[in-house]
Amino acid sequence: MSLISGWGRFPKAECKIVSARTQADVEAAIATAALIARGNGRAYGDAAMNRGQTLAMTGMDRMLSFEDGVLVAEAGVLLADIIHTLLPRGWFPMVTPGTKYVSLGGAIAADVHGKNHHLDGSFRSCVDWVDVMGPDGTVTRATPGDDLFDWTLGGMGLTGVILRAQIRLRKVETMYIAQETRALTSLQDTLDAFAETQDAPYSVAWIDCSDGPHHGHTLLLLGRHATLEDLPSRWRPFDVRQKRKLPVPFGAPPFLFRGLWLRALTGIYWRRGAKRAGHALVDWDSYFYPLDALSNWNRLYGRNGFLQFQCALPEEASAAGLAELMDTIAASQTGSVLSVLKRFGSQSGHFSFPMPGYTLALDFPASERSLELMSRLDEITLAHGGRFYLAKDARMPEAVAKADPRAKAYAAMRKQAGLTDRFTSMQSERLGL
Amino acid sequence: MSGPVLILGAASGIARAVARSFAEAGHPIQLAARNSARLEEDAADLRTRYGVEVTLHDFDALTLDSHAAFVEGLPVLPEVAVCAVGAMGEQAQSEADPQAAAHVMRSNFEGPASVLAHLANAMEARGSGSIVGISSVAGDRGRASNYVYGSAKAGFTAFLSGLRNRLAKKGVHVVTVLPGFVRTAMLDGMDTPGPLTAEPAEVGAAVLKAVEKQKNVIYTRPIWGVVMAVIRNIPEPVFKKTSL
Ligand SMILES: Cc1cc2nc3c(=O)[nH]c(=O)nc-3n(C[C@H](O)[C@H](O)[C@H](O)COP(=O)(O)OP(=O)(O)OC[C@H]3O[C@@H](n4cnc5c(N)ncnc54)[C@H](O)[C@@H]3O)c2cc1C
């Protein structure tokens, strides 16, 4: 038994870890007992935890073939590995979340989204097929259009174990991003700016929710892959070296995450960003994965860990919904240090998280106060027709999850297909999936 | 340096990492293990990631009389041979059943020593090469909890040290690798202390570096050198009362 947790370090539980290095290992594990597959543990909560059997997949990390941007690889390979291998050859993932330390299987199971969702959709848009091992050990190759494909992408590991997949990468001329930063001072300005920059390939906003929607200081970061012509003449287009990661040795004092201190911190962040507003060329790592530079920044929140709240709101309800969320957070003074606001485009799939509109991601220190605040945020989200991201969830009550009619359909399908007694996680049990 | 590297016992977690490190440095790789067809995916991985040439070879460490033919049958005598063959076994089972204990001893000492002897002679005749034996800190002192495995590793460690001594003037270098805990399937269910537990990739990088720099004996995490110095020096009357 090992004491494990998701990235938020909450909740923690003693789980039996079993490692898979080959397909035969997976088959043996499925035959033994109910389980959940675990990638690199970057989901925040309990999605990849099962006390009886948690199947560690990072040992299945072989890249099987690569040609003309088409990669076949095992589910345990990390995006970081793919980038370090293929970026020097001019290829970059079509869709990437905010950390490169996710496994291919984890990216597929959560159907992750990136800063380009409004144009390119979620991870599924680059997946040609996935091999999924079912409850009896049979392997099915699911392709877009299959029900199994639609349930697996966004299904949080509950349709079976993803063994390998074929994905398409994007051809890039350089490893740089041409970035434009805009400093804004309210939610409305931010939404207007998002609307005006629809065509920017990548966009994301860091928004200060501790001040309410009318003073929500924001840095909007727009980006596109730089071409050879964009580069100063002496720069080399690809120079992919592992950067040293800075460890975070101990937790910061909790008072930093409250009231005035928090405002001071976010204020400093905004002013620093605002001063540098404008155009810049930044490398892929700093643009896409600023947080990865700190190897274990999740420890910043101290021993109790932290909770994420990420919801999506439909287009028409976004402005009102976001304003209400921000008002409530500001009033609570239990703020999120840095909140992330992104635009979502259209979405297909049976149970994936994104919907056309906006998504707001917040983090809070794990505490009673935060849990209370988050229940209020749940209500506001549901009142505006929104939904929640399971990869970030660690505490939702079943009723809230089931307010999404797709959750009931998923649970019914799982039952009917005989998946409920082989593939379960602490999360699926908590949410009745 | 870019000659071929032979990996014996190529199916293990450490072996996979070692193969990757050498392939990344541009070496063609020869993967050898029982039923080598199951290494097809590992071969594909090395080709895809690093664009090197990879060949597969059937090899059984326990069948000693096949070792001469195995070495002769290699497409080319490797520049570096890494032996990652081993089996932890279960101490309780080894205690109860001497046959099981013998299997552990053969897998960790007799088999590896036999195949490396053939490779050493061939490299000596050529006048160049490197031999790497993956032994274990468990061989530094016998402990109640795994002395059967430890004794075999101790034998292997001594074998490697003698081989190094013998070949030092013949252009052949021998590296002894002493990994402590390595995060592979072997550790499933064990909670090992983080600072003492290496990732397989770390071991791979350490082995490559040891060969390039002609190191003699390496602990894959240097802290193990200190830990084992302490353990080796506990006086026997005290040691026998401990449960390490
Ligand atoms: C700093 C940070 C930034 C992030 N930014 C984003 C973002 O921008 N967009 C976004 O969408 N997400 C984001 N995430 C969340 C992250 O992308 C997802 O949680 C992702 O699923 C993590 O992958 P993992 O390999 O660590 O999987 P784990 O956390 O180990 O598992 C996550 C889920 O995938 C399932 N799973 C994993 N492997 C398999 C497999 N082989 N077969 C079946 N199921 C499997 C698990 O059962 C579990 O349900 C971020 C996370 C962090 C820590």
Inform me whether the C-beta atom of residue A22 falls under 8 Å from chain B C-beta atoms. yes
Inform me whether the C-beta atom of residue A25 falls under 8 Å from chain B C-beta atoms. yes
Inform me whether the C-beta atom of residue B188 falls under 8 Å from chain A C-beta atoms. yes
Query: Which chain B residues are closer than 8 Å to A66 by Cβ?
Result: 48
Inform me whether the C-beta atom of residue B191 falls under 8 Å from chain A C-beta atoms. yes
Interface with A, mutate which of B24, B36, B48 (most A CBs under 10 A)? B48
Q: Say whether B50 is catalytic.
A: no
Which atom of ligand 1 is closest in space to residue A109's alpha carbon?
Answer: 34
pLDDT on residue A249: 46
Q: Do B48 and A1 touch (CB under 8 A)?
A: no
pLDDT in tens, A6-15: 999 999 999 9
Alpha carbons A125 and A110: distance in angstroms, whole number = 13
pLDDT in tens, B151-202: 999 999 999 999 999 999 999 999 999 998 888 776 666 677 778 888 888 9
| A339–chain B nearest CA distance, Å | 32
pLDDT in tens, A54-71: 999 999 999 999 999 999
User: Which residue has better confidence, A317 or B183?
Assistant: A317
Query: Which chain A residues are closer than 8 Å to B188 by Cβ?
Result: 17-19
- By three-state DSSP, how is residue B199 classified? coil
Give me the mean pLDDT over the A65-79 stretch. 98
pLDDT on residue A244: 55
Query: Distance between alpha carbon A126 and the CA centroid of its chain, in Å?
Result: 16
Q: Which among A18, A22, A63 is the nearest to B188, CB-wise?
A: A18
Give me the mean pLDDT over the A101-129 stretch. 98
pLDDT on residue A414: 98
Q: Cα(A231) to centroid of ligand 1, in Å?
A: 33
Q: Do A19 and B185 touch (CB under 8 A)?
A: yes
Query: Taking CA atoms, what residue in B is nearest to A85?
Result: B49
Q: Which among B13, B38, B44 is the nearest to A59, CB-wise?
A: B13
pLDDT in tens, A159-210: 999 999 999 999 999 999 999 999 999 999 999 999 999 999 999 999 998 8
pLDDT on residue A101: 95
- Confidence category of residue A337, pLDDT binned at 50, 70, 90: low
Inform me whether the C-beta atom of residue A70 falls under 8 Å from chain B C-beta atoms. no
Which residue, by CA, sits nearest to atom 36 of ligand 1? A106
Query: Which chain A residues are closer than 8 Å to B38 by Cβ?
Result: 22
pLDDT in tens, A239-251: 866 555 555 544 4
pLDDT on residue A305: 85
Please answer whether residues B200 and B16 qualify as being in contact, where contact means their C-beta atoms are separated by less than 8 angstroms.
yes
Q: Do B48 and A64 touch (CB under 8 A)?
A: yes
Averaged pLDDT score across all residues of chain A: 92
pLDDT in tens, A373-430: 999 999 999 999 999 999 999 999 999 999 999 999 999 999 999 999 999 999 999 9
Inform me whether the C-beta atom of residue A197 falls under 8 Å from chain B C-beta atoms. no
Which of A25, A26, A36, A42 should be mutated for ligand 1, with most atoms under 8 A from CB?
A: A42
Q: Do B189 and A74 touch (CB under 8 A)?
A: no
Give ligand 1 pocket residues (Cβ under 6 A). A 7, 36-43, 47-48, 57, 75, 97-99, 102-103, 105-107, 109-110, 112-113, 156-157, 161-162, 291, 391, 425
Give me the total of CB pairs closer than 8 Å, taking one residue from chain A and one from chain B: 39
Alpha carbons A199 and A119: distance in angstroms, whole number = 8
pLDDT on residue A56: 96
Q: Cα(A109) to centroid of ligand 1, in Å?
A: 7
Give me the mean pLDDT over the A146-165 stretch. 98
**A133-148: b (≥16 Cβ within 10 Å) or e:** bbbebeebbbeeeeeb
| B47–chain A nearest CA distance, Å | 8
Query: Which chain A residues are closer than 8 Å to B49 by Cβ?
Result: 63, 85
Inform me whether the C-beta atom of residue B48 falls under 8 Å from chain A C-beta atoms. yes
Q: Do B44 and A65 touch (CB under 8 A)?
A: yes
Q: Cα(A299) to centroid of ligand 1, in Å?
A: 18
Query: Which chain B residues are closer than 8 Å to A3 by Cβ?
Result: 191
pLDDT on residue A430: 98
Alpha carbons A130 and A289: distance in angstroms, whole number = 26
Inform me whether the C-beta atom of residue A240 falls under 8 Å from chain B C-beta atoms. no
Q: Do A74 and B41 touch (CB under 8 A)?
A: yes
Alpha carbons A155 and A169: distance in angstroms, whole number = 23
Q: Do B44 and A62 touch (CB under 8 A)?
A: yes
**A90-128: b (≥16 Cβ within 10 Å) or e:** bbbbbbbbbbbbbbbbbbbbbbbbbbbbbebbbbbbbbe
Please answer whether residues B90 and B44 qualify as being in contact, where contact means their C-beta atoms are separated by less than 8 angstroms.
no
Q: Which contacts (CB < 8 Å, 24+ apart) does range A187-192 have?
A: A187/A213, A187/A214, A187/A216, A187/A218, A187/A319, A187/A322, A187/A323, A187/A326, A188/A213, A188/A319, A189/A218, A190/A216, A190/A218, A190/A220, A190/A341, A191/A318, A191/A319, A191/A322, A191/A358
Q: What is the ipTM score, two decimals? A: 0.89
Q: Do A21 and B42 touch (CB under 8 A)?
A: no
Query: Which chain A residues are closer than 8 Å to B35 by Cβ?
Result: none
Residue with tokens 């004794």: B151
Give me the residues of chain B with pLDDT under 70, please. Answer: 1, 186-190
Res. A252: pLDDT tops 60 = no
pLDDT above 90 covers a percentage of chain A that reads 80
Which residue, by CA, sits nearest to atom 53 of ligand 1? A42
Please answer whether residues B15 and B82 qualify as being in contact, where contact means their C-beta atoms are separated by less than 8 angstroms.
yes
